[in-house]
Amino acid sequence: MSDIEFRHAVRDALDEELARDESVIFFGEDIAAAGGVFAVTTGLYEKHGPDRVFDTAISELAISGAAFGSAVAGLRPVVEVMFGDFLLLALDSLINQSAKYWYLSNEQASVPLVLRSAVGGGGRFGAIHSQMPITWLLGVPGIKIVCPSTPGDAKALLKAAIRDDNPVVFLEHKRLYSIKGPVTEEVAEIGKASVVREGSDVTIVSAMKGVHDCLAAAEILAAQGVQAEVIDLRTLRPLDTDTVLTSTKKTNRILVVEEGPETGGWAGEILACVVDQALEHLDDAWRLATPDRPVPYSPPLEDAFYPDAQKIADSVLGRMTQGEPLIAGAAR
Per-residue pLDDT tens digits of the chain, which is 332 residues long: 689 999 999 999 999 999 999 999 999 999 999 999 999 999 999 999 999 999 999 999 999 999 999 999 999 999 999 999 999 999 999 999 999 999 999 999 999 999 999 999 999 999 999 999 999 999 999 999 999 999 999 999 999 999 999 999 999 999 999 999 999 999 999 999 999 999 999 999 999 999 999 999 999 999 999 999 999 999 999 999 999 999 999 999 999 999 999 999 999 999 999 988 877 789 999 999 999 999 999 999 999 999 999 999 999 999 998 754 433 333 33
**C-alpha pair distances (Å), 63 with each of 116, 185, 268:** 11, 29, 32
**Who contacts 313 (Cβ-Cβ below 8 Å, separation ≥6)?**
217, 220, 221, 224
Q: Please confirm, yes or no, whether 129 is among the known catalytic residues.
A: yes
Give buried/exposed letters for 174-198 (b at 16+ CB in 10 A, else e). Answer: bbbbebebebeeebbebbebbebbe
Q: Which of 8, 129, 173, 212 is catalytic?
A: 129
Max CA pair span of the chain: 62
Q: Is it true that 3-182 and 194-322 share their CATH fold? A: yes
Could you tell me the pTM of the whole model? Answer: 0.94
Query: Domain extents for the chain?
Result: 3-182, 194-322
Tell me what pLDDT residue 325 has: 41
Class of domain 3-182: alpha beta
Q: Name residue 112's amino acid.
A: P
Q: Please confirm, yes or no, whether 173 is among the known catalytic residues.
A: no
Tell me what pLDDT residue 323 has: 52
Question: Domain 194-322 is of which CATH architecture?
Answer: 3-Layer(aba) Sandwich (3.40)
Helix, strand or coil, per DSSP, at residue 56:
coil
- Cβ contact 257:287 at 8 Å: yes
**Phi and psi dihedrals of 116, rounded to 5?**
-95, 145
Task: Report the C-alpha gap between 132 and 11 in whole angstroms.
Answer: 22
From start to end of the chain, where are the E strands? 3-5, 24-28, 53-55, 76-83, 114-119, 144-146, 168-173, 180-182, 194-197, 202-206, 228-232, 235-237, 253-261, 284-290
Angle between helices 309-322 and 209-223 (to 10 degrees): 50
Q: Which of 60, 172, 229, 259 is catalytic?
A: 60
Tell me what pLDDT residue 52 has: 98
Task: Report the C-alpha gap between 9 and 52 in whole angstroms.
Answer: 19
